[in-house]
């Protein structure tokens, strides 16, 4: 699962000036950012589990030394 954070942060239906950096718009927004914490935690936990279980070894025919 890939979460497109850029698209969420630049959604014109949610933000008036979606292409400008304006931290103050979060406090005046109808979106409750505090409720999003659980979703962010679940995405980070899922990503951590995938990265932890990933096999980071090279294939037998690939060398880590530069030629």
Verdict on whether the full-model pTM lies above 0.75: no
pLDDT digits (tens, 9 = 90+) for 50-60: 888 888 788 88
Cβ atoms 11, 20 nearer than 8 A: no
pLDDT digits (tens, 9 = 90+) for 23-46: 777 666 666 656 556 777 788 888
Cβ atoms 34, 17 nearer than 8 A: no
Of the chain, the percentage scoring pLDDT greater than 70 comes to 73
Extents of the domains making up the chain: 5-48
Taking CB atoms within 8 Å and a gap of at least 24, the contacts of 48-55 are none
């Amino acid at each position: 699962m890939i979460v497109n954070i850029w698209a969420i942060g630049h959604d014109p239906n949610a933000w008036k000036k979606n292409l400008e950096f304006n931290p103050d718009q979060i406090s005046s927004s109808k979106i409750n950012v505090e409720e999003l914490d659980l979703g962010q935690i679940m995405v980070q936990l899922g990503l951590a589990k995938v990265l932890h279980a990933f096999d980071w070894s090279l294939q037998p025919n690939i060398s880590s030394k530069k030629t």
